[in-house]
């Protein structure tokens, strides 16, 4: 039989997508698939690839016999339990922020730096934040040929980046404003939400998200930056292996349920044309190029949700900046942005 894989956090938003991925694969290399979750979800029955599995409670013994443990749990749980999984003999592939910037933990996007899976002194491999991940395949392809020097990014992040709570809040807000003549006066969206019982202090988004955009994702960091913006900078440098890469990001939440988008301004060492970029994107198996200005063809998050690849469009040579491309990427933040990349890291380990 093949190796044993565990999904830790199997009943959460990302864990559920992980199970979808397992169900949709034609072949999987696994002998046993073990579903692990908190005591609250233990005992739940979930069918994976036609076989009913009982979710087991997170405990040291739950990792006995596990070869690869994929973690989709909050940072503090990963920090506590990934080392336990390793002690019990597993390789931990972790989708939280707990280990991403640890110099002894590789941060892997298989299309960009699959070779890094071998250097894992702690037995842990980290999966990047979904915002960084959504543009990495495209940037990795360009960087290999043209040498990336600078990156300026604006994100358009979906509500599901804040988990099920974020999805529920956006749906409730949209229901509360639907059919109302709001959005024509400052504060009237917030008033409509409050009238529907959606209190400002209960939102994960700091401001109304329905009929709005919110330039704040993640937590507050020094000098006006947010955690998401610093993750884009630090993780891009680590994945691409360019410690001095100049990066500046503004992260914005938009009223989209799932799929993050990013507007990217990328400066390269060498001259680069739209045609050259198109060729690289077309050659990349996990990129779909949707870029036809004549036909007004471009990707949007609503057209990409549920898909595995990264969609790229609006590729332009910057008019006033040499060696610089502008482009727009959309990637499902729960699939490639989280569960799928974690799963692909696990597959890479098995192939090796």
- Give the catalytic positions in this structure: 130, 260
Report whether 159 belongs to an annotated binding site. no
- For residue 349, give every residue at least 6 positions away whose Cβ sits within 8 Å of its Cβ, in sequence order, or none: 68, 91, 93, 117, 125
Within 332-351, the residues that bind ligand 2RA by CB under 6 A are: none
Q: State the DSSP code for 129.
A: P
| Member of 131, 258, 286, 348 binding ligand 2RA (CB under 6 A) | 131
Between residues 12 and 161, which has the closer beta carbon with respect to ligand 2RA?
A: 161
Residue among 11, 137, 162, 310 that touches ligand 2RA (CB under 6 A): 162
With CB under 6 A as the contact rule, the residue among 130, 177, 247, 266 that binds ligand 2RA is: 130
Does position 255 bind ligand 2RA by CB under 6 A?
A: no
| Of 74 and 147, CB closest to ligand 2RA | 74
How many of the other CB atoms lie within 10 Å of CB of 219?
9
Does position 148 bind ligand 2RA by CB under 6 A?
Answer: no
Q: What is the nearest approach in angstroms of ligand 2RA to the Cβ of residue 167? A: 12
- Across 193-351, where does the E strand assignment appear? 246-253, 260-268, 287-289, 310-317, 324-331
Q: Number of H helices and number of E strands within the chain?
A: 9, 14
User: Distance between alpha carbon 48 and the CA centroid of its chain, in Å?
Assistant: 23
Q: Are strands 310-317 and 324-331 parallel, antiparallel or unpaired?
A: antiparallel
Which residues have C-beta within 8 Å of that of residue 151, sequence separation ≥ 6?
A: 139, 236, 245, 246, 247, 248, 264, 265, 266, 267
Pair 252, 226: CB distance under 8 Å: no
Interacting span for ligand 2RA (CB under 6 A) from 33-41, 75-83, 127-135, 283-291:
127-135
Residue from 126, 148, 217, 289 binding ligand 2RA (CB under 6 A)? 217
CA distances from 8 to 102, 161, 284, 300 (A): 21, 19, 31, 32
Q: Which is nearer to ligand 2RA, 53 or 260 (CB)?
A: 260
CB 85 within 8 A of CB 63: yes
SS3 31: coil
The reply to whether 161 sits near ligand 2RA by the rule CB under 6 A is yes
3-state secondary structure of 295: coil
- Output the six-digit token pair for 33: 């698939």
Segment near ligand 2RA (CB under 6 A), from 12-20, 99-107, 157-165, 282-290? 157-165
Residues 44-103, interacting with ligand 2RA (CB under 6 A): none
Nearer Cβ to ligand 2RA (146/343): 343
Is 228 among the residues that bind ligand 2RA (CB under 6 A)? Answer: yes
Task: Rule CB under 6 A: say whether 310 interacts with ligand 2RA.
Answer: no
Annotation: binding site for NADP(+): 11-14, 40-41, 160-161, 333
Per CB under 6 A, residues contacting ligand 2RA are: 129-131, 157, 161-162, 217, 228
């Amino acid at each position: 039989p093949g190796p044993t894989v565990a999904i830790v956090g199997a009943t959460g938003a990302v864990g559920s997508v992980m199970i979808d991925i397992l169900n949709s694969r034609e072949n999987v290399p696994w002998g046993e698939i073990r579903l692990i979750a908190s005591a609250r979800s233990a005992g739940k029955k979930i069918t994976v690839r036609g076989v009913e599995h009982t979710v087991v409670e997170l405990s040291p013994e739950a990792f006995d016999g596990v070869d690869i443990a994929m973690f989709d749990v909050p940072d503090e749980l990963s920090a506590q339990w990934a080392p336990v999984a390793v002690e019990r003999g597993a390789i931990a592939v972790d989708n939280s922020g707990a280990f991403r910037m640890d110099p002894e933990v590789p941060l892997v996007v298989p299309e960009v730096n699959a070779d890094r899976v071998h250097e894992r002194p702690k037995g842990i491999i980290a999966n990047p934040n979904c915002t960084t991940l959504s543009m990495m395949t495209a940037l990795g392809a360009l960087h290999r040929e043209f040498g990336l020097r600078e990156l300026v990014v604006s994100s358009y992040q979906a509500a599901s980046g804040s988990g099920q709570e974020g999805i529920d809040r956006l749906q409730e807000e949209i229901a509360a404003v639907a059919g109302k003549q709001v959005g024509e006066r400052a504060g009237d969206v917030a008033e409509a939400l409050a009238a529907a019982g959606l209190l400002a202090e209960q939102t994960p988004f700091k401001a109304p998200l329905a009929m709005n955009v919110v330039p704040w994702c993640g937590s507050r960091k020094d000098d006006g930056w947010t955690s998401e913006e610093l993750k884009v900078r630090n993780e891009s440098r680590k994945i691409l292996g360019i410690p001095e890469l100049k990066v500046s990001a503004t992260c914005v939440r938009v009223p989209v349920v799932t799929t993050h988008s990013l507007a990217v301004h990328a400066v390269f060492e060498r001259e680069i044309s739209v045609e050259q970029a198109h060729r690289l994107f077309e050659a990349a198996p996990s990129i779909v190029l949707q870029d036809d200005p004549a036909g007004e063809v471009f990707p949007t998050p609503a057209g990409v949700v549920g898909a595995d690849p990264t969609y790229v469009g609006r590729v332009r040579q910057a008019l006033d900046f040499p060696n610089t491309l502008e482009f727009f990427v959309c990637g499902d933040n729960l699939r490639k942005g989280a569960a799928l990349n974690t799963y692909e890291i696990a597959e890479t380990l098995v192939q090796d």
